[in-house]
Structure 1
Amino acid sequence: HLLYGNAQSRGGVEIAKYNEWGGLNRDGTPGFDTKRPGWGKPVHQLLVENGVDIVFKGHDHLYVKQELDGIIYQTLPQPSHPGDKVNSAIEYGYVTGKVVGGSGFLKVTTSSNAIKVDFVKHDGSILDSYVKSA
């Protein structure tokens, strides 16, 4: 389900203050309650209040790791994407965060006190890795 983005429903934390994620209309005025009656709170606020550590999201087909209010917003890479281009990050509105080119998948390992995320290339090499304490 696409919650919002630019005209192509793309973007990262840069658009988190709008629509379902943050509650504002594109012009910055409040609009959440009129478009989502009964929800009570925008998605990002619910995630913060409930201690969410990482949000994994797709659709943009590139690896971007961003953080907002203590939550990592991890955009997923495309396993079959040829090459290592990252220019689509700018086209899609990503301004901040870590962008890594290349195709691959994310390997997520959890324990009682941490979450480890590895961006694994098709040949098994690790393109990026991080740990988030739980």
Structure 2
Amino acid sequence: MWTLFAAVFYLLIAIPAVPDFNNTLSDFLLIITYWLGPWGIILIEEHFIFRRGQYNVEDWNTPQKLPVGWAALVSMAFGLLGVYLGAAQVLFVGPIANLFNPPYGMDIGFELGLVFAGIAYFFLRRVELALSGR
């Protein structure tokens, strides 16, 4: 059933995008890239800084031993705020991006997303560990 809904949804997006497919695909891929920056830095910090590459596989089946996750969610929101401030697209130019090359802007959304999410997660994860112990 979900497959049918997804296919209809994709079809409703694809039909209007056909005349300008190249630009639509490019815009879509940029949106994915904007999202991957903050998400990736959160995963990298968790792996290298907080877990140091050590995972207990049995803990994944015990919810009481898994992280609460609010640090990652809040950090992702900070990262997306950075993306908003630094994005420079056809339909939208963020305020920081607009400072460098008005009126088109310089697209630094990915970089700002990395920095905002990385700094936020570094501190918020420490708070989460102190409060929850996991």
Please state which band the TM-score falls in when normalised by the shorter chain: under 0.3
TM-score by length of 2: 0.26
TM-score by length of 1: 0.26
Computing the radius of gyration from Cα coordinates, the structure with the larger value is 2
User: If each structure's strand is expressed as a fraction of its own residues, which one has the higher value?
Assistant: 1
- Highest RCO, 1 vs 2 (Cα 8 Å, sep ≥ 6): 2
